Chains A and B, each alone.
Chain A
């Protein structure tokens, strides 16, 4: 079983839409969680950390559900510039496990 499962999409949404991505993880001992954004032909860049209490950064909200072992990323009021691939990352011990990435295209 994979450490992290992520729906690859693609998600094609109109500007202004709200879109949500989810990742599930298999190891209940995983201790840290992150969302990264990767633009085409670029390296992944940290978008935000994910906490059980949830955290929000402008239009972006990340949530962790330990009981169900999933993390989510919500993007409100989508902008054209949000088009990218979003990767979840789960840390177990000293190892980072990445999802396959979800492709988002925001359409004018």
Chain B
């Protein structure tokens, strides 16, 4: 089945630094990838839709200048949290769908990145 790989799995950084998270589709091409954030004991929140070769689409309330998304190839999307602050500490999860399959194909998630900003 479709596999999505995310790296790093966890990161601790100091306030003010930037953190880059990579999301790769390993056995399929993903023209679209999705970035979610999840705070403890809360539901998944869609942050943005990453589109290969074009600008990402951000959900309302998500700062595009703070959460930079680059989708330069059909298998790689990156999320950079710029000038991270403690309130950005969260679980970030990417996902993708194999559009070669039927429209009924599911979304597959990366293993997530746990970010802690001190």
The chain A residues found within 8 Å of chain B, CB to CB, are 31-32, 34, 41-46, 49, 87, 89, 91, 94, 96, 98-101
**Given A94-B32, A99-B43, A100-B43, is A31 in contact with B112 using a C-beta cutoff of 8 Å?**
no
Q: 13 interchain pairs (CB within 8 A)?
A: A31-B104, A34-B106, A42-B112, A43-B111, A46-B106, A87-B44, A89-B106, A91-B103, A91-B104, A96-B95, A99-B43, A100-B42, A100-B43
Q: Which residues of B contact A43 (CB under 8 A)?
A: 93, 109-112
B39-65 with Cβ < 8 A to chain A: 42-44
Query: Is A98 a contact partner of B106 (Cβ separation < 8 A)?
Result: no
Q: Indicate whether B34 reaches chain A with its CB closer than 8 angstroms.
A: yes
Q: Is the interface of B mostly helix, strand, loop or mixed?
A: loop
Distance, CA A89 to CA B44, complexed state (A): 11
* B91 on interface, CB distance cutoff 8 Å: yes
Number of contacts between A and B (CB, 8 Å)? 42
Contacts of B7 in A (CB 8 A): none
Do the beta carbons of A32 and B109 come within 8 Å of each other?
Answer: no
CA distance A44 to B4 in the complex (A): 12
Which residues between 14 and 73 of chain B lie within 8 Å of chain A, taking CB atoms?
32, 34, 42-44
Determine how close the nearest CB of chain A comes to the CB of B37; give it in whole angstroms.
Answer: 12
Residues of B near A31 (CB, < 8 A) are 103-104
CB proximity of B36 to chain A, nearest CB, Å: 8
Cross-chain contact A45 with B109 (CB below 8 angstroms): yes
Whether B106 and A49, one on each chain, are in contact in the complex, defined by CB atoms closer than 8 angstroms, is yes
